[in-house]
Structure 1
Amino acid sequence: MSSANSGILSRIPGLAYVGLVLTPLFWAGNAVVARGTVEHVPPLSMSFWRWVIALAILLPFGFPGMWHHRRVIRARLGSMLALATFSVAAFNSLLYYAAITTTATNIALINATIPIFVALLAWMLLGDRTRPIQALGIALAIGGILTVVARGELSVLTGLQAQPGDLIMVAAVFSWGLFSVLLRRQAVPLPALTFLTTQILLGTLVILPFYLVDLFFFAGGFELTRNTAMSLLYFAIFPGILAYAFWNHGVHAIGPARAAIFMYLTPVFASILAGIFLGESLGAFHMIGGLLILAGLVLATRTGRRQAAYSLRSQEQNGRDT
């Protein structure tokens, strides 16, 4: 976004709030559309072609910055490759694999705990101080995740009968947490658009060999119909590029702490959209797990402002796609 456009938008504060409402709506739509499309398009195909399309759209705008900052990119190539692997490649591919065996509502609820995983991993790997009330928030959110994964039945956990998709989604959130912590340790001095374009390019290259193996030896290809094409375009444009732009502007306009509140809308939107388009219904365990997750998020992000603000800046720079 140019400085001129940014200056114009900053004079209309309401646009920031509109964008911050649309962002979780697009992230929720990502889970719902993935759940509805995964029977027709293999997960790795969804992930690969989503990023190819997004890259084709962004490259004309991002390439000049990549060329201008090519020495920085070359010097930090190893770090940027690791960052792209955990975020663009692993997070999104795992999310689409999760959609095979779990609901869009579960995906969104588990995905909402990203700030919790960032704070937890920052404490474990970076030695960040965790206050008692923040630890309580983390514990509540983890309890909410276990409630959702167990579908409210303890025997699911003790008998190791959890849905594979729920566990895969936990792995996806863990991957994003590792990305956020790694970004903090090895920050790359690049403009946001340059960083995003480079990350998508590197992440697409990481996915490519796995996609080719999956294409030729496992899942095979897919039929390009109007519906599958529209799904891929949605993945690339709405939860990817537009959500990134809206989130970026919103965080700059009202600050990361206030913008964080809008993240809580993602599971709400997902449950509504999943009910309308997929016929998913909410169970008591969704309500209980969702309340525990919400309470944990409020406690953890209010008392761990540095970690929360860092997580939000990470999402602003890379553009999260749930």
Structure 2
Amino acid sequence: MPSDNAHLLSRIPSLAYIGLVLTPLFWAGNAVVARGTVDAIPPLSMSFWRWVIALAVLLPFGLPGVWRQRQVIRQHLGSMLALATFSVGAFNSLLYIAATTTTATNIALINATIPIFVALLAWVLLGDRTRPIQAIGIALAVLGILTVVARGDVSVLTGLQAQAGDLIMVAAVFSWGLFSVLLRRQAVPLPALTFLTTQILLGTLVIFPFYLGDLLFFSGGFELSRDTALPLIYFAIFPGILAYGFWNHGVHQVGPSKAAIFMYLTPVFASILASVFLGETLGLFHIIGGALILAGLLLATRAGGRLPAYRKNA
């Protein structure tokens, strides 16, 4: 009966679209909640415990598959470790570090350029051909990033005065681009749930020594309370597990090209949530930079052909 219900749900397109709308909402919430709680929870603690909680939720469902596929995992352990380092390990840790010195709106705008970084790295590392219209789209999106990072002031760039958080967020997006390209080059033949469980397990192990060093020598950790536990649970469940499941289901039901358009809702949701909960305001540079990024993404992903596919578990 459960399989019949799952089959019935998969035949209702509206559910896929609902999931694709909720996914960028959860990703936007990731940036907003991180920005709002980063003073109470150190970034590396935030990243480490987010994945510990997610792993605890997933293990009862994912562990049997990990055990069955242990030979495949062992054969591809080097590739799996590299993939986990750039995705689970580096991307979210850098995002949370960025939240200490930049706004949730900036984080979401820069995060929206992930497809551009994937295309650039696929061109450099895999030799993928880039059509002229895609090149124009990439250039516009990069100009949009520079507008956001410079806060609309060219002297910020020429004087090397950009906010550290914006530059760290660019590094985070670059890290996810590397993960996406490596995922394509070193494809691991594992079911989705087994792959995700293994990635979170390995990524948590990668984060652990950095978290331990930060705990012992720098931040001292955080006090566990309702105000710190709830954000961690949110990070694990909503932008982690649920967003990943909704995204994959949506891609399967409506196709990657249509699903990719929903990514553009992330900075929209983030700006609204940040305005309501954090008191952030939109500047003219946000609007100009966001418009350039959106135009660039539309040109690069629609008119110029599809960009390389990538998984998202941010």
C-alpha deviation, 1:7, in angstroms: 1.1
1:58 pairs with 2:75? no
The aligned runs of 1:96-115 (5 Å cut-off) are 96-115=96-115
SS at match of 1:140: helix
Contact in 2 for aligned 1:131/1:303 (Cα 8 Å): no
Q: Distance in 2 between matches of 1:284 and 1:277?
A: 20
Contact in 1 for aligned 2:133/2:304 (Cα 8 Å): no
Once the two structures are overlaid, the 10-residue window that deviates more, 29-38 or 219-228, is: 219-228
C-alpha deviation, 1:305, in angstroms: 3.6
- Structure 1 partner of 2:271: 271
Q: Distance in 1 between matches of 2:174 and 2:87?
A: 10
- Structure 2 partner of 1:239: 239
SS at match of 2:66: helix
- Structure 1 partner of 2:92: 92
Alpha-carbon RMSD:
1.0
Amino acid at match of 1:137: G
Q: Distance in 2 between matches of 1:202 and 1:96?
A: 19
SS at match of 1:138: helix
Amino acid at match of 1:156: V
Amino acid at match of 1:139: A
Structure 1, residues 207-236: CA drift from partner, whole Å, max 9, x if none? Answer: 001100000001111011111100000000
Instruction: Provide the TM-score with structure 2 as the length reference.
Output: 0.98
- Structure 1 partner of 2:32: 32
Q: Distance in 2 between matches of 1:28 and 1:170?
A: 16
The aligned runs of 1:83-162 (5 Å cut-off) are 83-162=83-162
Q: Distance in 2 between matches of 1:166 and 1:128?
A: 28
Contact in 2 for aligned 1:119/1:304 (Cα 8 Å): no
Q: Distance in 2 between matches of 1:228 and 1:269?
A: 23
Instruction: Provide the TM-score with structure 1 as the length reference.
Output: 0.96
Q: Distance in 2 between matches of 1:196 and 1:224?
A: 27
- Structure 2 partner of 1:67: 67
SS at match of 1:8: helix
Contact in 2 for aligned 1:138/1:296 (Cα 8 Å): yes
Once the two structures are overlaid, the 10-residue window that deviates more, 19-28 or 296-305, is: 296-305
- Structure 2 partner of 1:214: 214
1:195 pairs with 2:195? yes
Q: Distance in 2 between matches of 1:191 and 1:298?
A: 31
C-alpha deviation, 1:13, in angstroms: 1.3
1:252 pairs with 2:257? no
Contact in 2 for aligned 1:257/1:305 (Cα 8 Å): no
Q: Distance in 1 between matches of 2:292 and 2:200?
A: 34
Amino acid at match of 1:157: L
Contact in 1 for aligned 2:38/2:99 (Cα 8 Å): yes
C-alpha deviation, 1:249, in angstroms: 1.1
C-alpha deviation, 1:306, in angstroms: 4.2
Contact in 2 for aligned 1:98/1:107 (Cα 8 Å): yes
C-alpha deviation, 1:12, in angstroms: 1.6
Task: Give ranges in structure 1 of 5+ residues lacking alignment.
Answer: none
Contact in 2 for aligned 1:94/1:171 (Cα 8 Å): yes
Q: Distance in 2 between matches of 1:172 and 1:5?
A: 39
Distance 1:177 1:304, change over 3 A: farther
1:21 pairs with 2:21? yes
SS at match of 2:100: helix
SS at match of 2:99: helix
Distance 1:293 1:3, change over 3 A: farther
Amino acid at match of 2:295: A
Amino acid at match of 2:151: R
Structure 1, residues 18-61: CA drift from partner, whole Å, max 9, x if none? Answer: 11100000000000000001000000000000000000000010
Q: Distance in 1 between matches of 2:94 and 2:167?
A: 10
Once the two structures are overlaid, the 10-residue window that deviates more, 10-19 or 140-149, is: 10-19
Q: Distance in 2 between matches of 1:98 and 1:218?
A: 17
SS at match of 1:280: coil
Q: Distance in 2 between matches of 1:306 and 1:78?
A: 29
C-alpha deviation, 1:187, in angstroms: 0.2
Q: Distance in 2 between matches of 1:87 and 1:246?
A: 18
Q: Distance in 2 between matches of 1:4 and 1:163?
A: 52
1:44 pairs with 2:44? yes
